[in-house]
Amino acid sequence: MAAPDERTAQASQLFENFVQASTCKGTLQAFSILCRQLELDPLDYSNFYSSLKTAITSWKVKALWTKLDKRAEHKVYNQGKACQGTRCLIIGGGPCGLRTAIELALLGCKVVVIEKRDTFSRNNVLHLWPYTIHDLRGLGAKKFYGKFCAGSIDHISIRQLQLMLLKVCLILGVEIHVNIEFIKLVEPPEEQHEDSPGWRAEIRPSSHQVSEFDFDVVIGADGRRNTLDGFSRKEFRGKLAIAITANFVNRNTTAEAKVEEISGVAFIFNQKFFLELREETGIDLENIVYYKDHTHYFVMTAKKQSLLDKGVIINDYIETERLLSNDNVNQEALLSYAREAADFGTNYQLPSLDYAINHYGQPDVAMFDFTCMYASENAALIREKHGHQLLVALVGDSLLEPFWPMGTGCARGFLAAFDTAWMVRGWAQGRSPLEILAERESIYRLLPQTTTENISKNFEQYTIDPATRYPNLNSSCVRPHQVILCLCSVADS
Ligand code: FAD
């Protein structure tokens, strides 16, 4: 048997391997080795974090424990007992699903996340509002990603963000299953006896153990194509908006380091730049953002006529879906268009603009339609069948779709994650279902209007309690009688 010092060093090394893992699969593998070697039971969710802390005592990890302890001490969590016994299923391991999972775990829920993929491959970069940077620092972001928001950097690649949140989730006892796709909810059976199942999920592959997990709360965090039934969507139809994202290899040379980023806000007002771009290249843009991250990431909104003139779009159609369909887009011309815009935008200072390779082994460029953006009418509802109530909620893009060039997806997504956790807390405490739904809808009405300016600047005080984040909160602008229909119609369906 190894000496105590040796055991400490070995445990510390296993934990470092987990912290440093750079892929989703690698992280899950390192975590499983860590648990096995240290004889920790990840299914013992309410004791897992404290057992892990007892097992990993090296100085290297002290700062992380201090941060996580500080977070866990928020009164709202009631020492991890606020939601004891509540079982939650989260659909989707994107940034918002994972961020919600962390809050629910801190509240003491049993949390299971299912994610249909097993890779985090999105190079695209999210803009972080100051409060999100503060929030992620408080979860130990720097430990997981040393370069996190160094200096004036206020953005992060989606995959890097997912990776760090995945690690925090695992540390806090969240159960994560990859390669599991949610299909639909399964109602509790009519015949009820002592060990009858409650609400469950139909998943693919159907034989996986998660299909036997009974839950009281389900959170839809599966992105813009939300699969949970019962939520109608509002459509915001603006003028035609075609966004292009492009990622180029960052070789981290001195020349590349010198090139200035383009923040969207600054460029919206710079008409001269866009006129010169059009004159010199024929490229006509409404905005462009450039962030230097793991890749050189560009997102721009292009005018249709210039895409037609430059041969990117082959034929002009009125329906946007047909206009941007694969067989109407010349991929080579799209690659050149985005490269030329990136080159001009950075004043030809990036030494080589070689496309990074995406998940499909192709150059990482994509074109998306933002003419219609969706938001869910409601943030939550309650289903009831054969005596079993289920709280159903949406977060992230499933709730409110962001306009990428403004990068609001993660900032508003995290606010909704906190608001949802607050609702789950009320639910677990036995508050009246109609009251908590009414409160949730009242808070949801604020979300589309939130900006960096109108949310509270006192980040240190932020908790899942909405009053700590929204200065002029009116949590009762939607009245319980206004949500009653939602409860009944769904319960009766
Ligand atoms: P997502 O990040 O979309 O995560 C949803 C997760 O759910 C995914 O991991 C998905 O695999 C999983 N999932 C989906 N269906 C199921 C199912 N049935 N069962 C189980 N799991 C499921 N925003 C920007 O600001 N700038 C960008 O450049 C940008 N690029 C993007 C590129 C792509 C391809 C996508 C999909 C989104 C992009 N976004 C971008 C949006 C941004 O990623 C989101 O706003 C942000 O990640 C928060 O989203 P989320 O966690 O709600 O959803």
DSSP secondary structure string for all residues of 124-149? -EEE--HHHHHHHHHTTHHHH-TTTT
Which of 381, 487, 388 has its CA nearest to residue 188?
A: 388
- Report d(CA 405, CA 290) in Å as an integer: 10
Angle at 388 between CA 385 and CA 394, to 5 degrees: 85
d(CA 158, ligand 1 centre) in Å = 8
Boundaries of CATH 3.50.50.60 in the chain?
87-234+376-492
Return averaged pLDDT per consecutive 10 residues of the chain, 493 residues in all: 76 96 98 96 97 94 97 97 98 98 98 98 95 98 94 92 98 98 94 84 97 98 92 88 96 95 72 93 94 95 97 96 96 98 96 95 95 92 92 97 86 98 97 94 95 96 97 83 54 40
Find the residues whose C-beta lies inside 6 A of ligand 1. 91-97, 114-117, 122, 124, 126, 158, 181-182, 221-223, 227, 245, 299, 396-398, 402, 404, 407, 409-410, 413
Between the alpha carbon of residue 349 and those of residues 191, 194, 245, 301, the distances in Å are 70, 70, 19, 22
pLDDT score recorded for residue 269: 67
| Mutation test residue for ligand 1: of 99, 124, 218, 419, the one with most atoms within 8 Å of CB | 124
Q: How far apart (Å, rounded) are the C-alpha atoms in residues 389 and 187?
A: 10
Instruction: Return d(Cα 148, Cα 128) in angstroms, integer.
Output: 11
- Is residue 331 a contact partner of residue 436, using CB atoms and an 8 Å limit? no
ipTM for this prediction: 0.98
Determine the pLDDT at residue 492: 41
For residues 481 and 493, what is the distance between their CA atoms, to the nearest angstrom? Answer: 19
Predicted local confidence at residue 179, as pLDDT: 98
Please give the backbone phi and psi of residue 359, each rounded to the nearest 5 degrees, phi first.
-55, -30
User: Domain 87-234+376-492 classified CATH 3.40.50.720?
Assistant: no
Q: How far is CA 150 from CA 9, 55, 366, 435, 452, in A?
A: 29, 31, 28, 43, 20
- Cα separation, 164 vs 156, in Å, equals 11
Task: Give me 2's structure tokens.
Answer: 């190894």
CATH 3.30.9 in the chain: give the residue spans: 239-370
Centre of ligand 1 from the C-alpha of residue 482, in Å: 31
CATH tag, 239-370: 3.30.9
Instruction: Report which residue type is found at 415.
Output: L
Return the pLDDT at 5: 77
pLDDT of residue 475: 82
In this prediction, residue 265 carries a pLDDT of 59
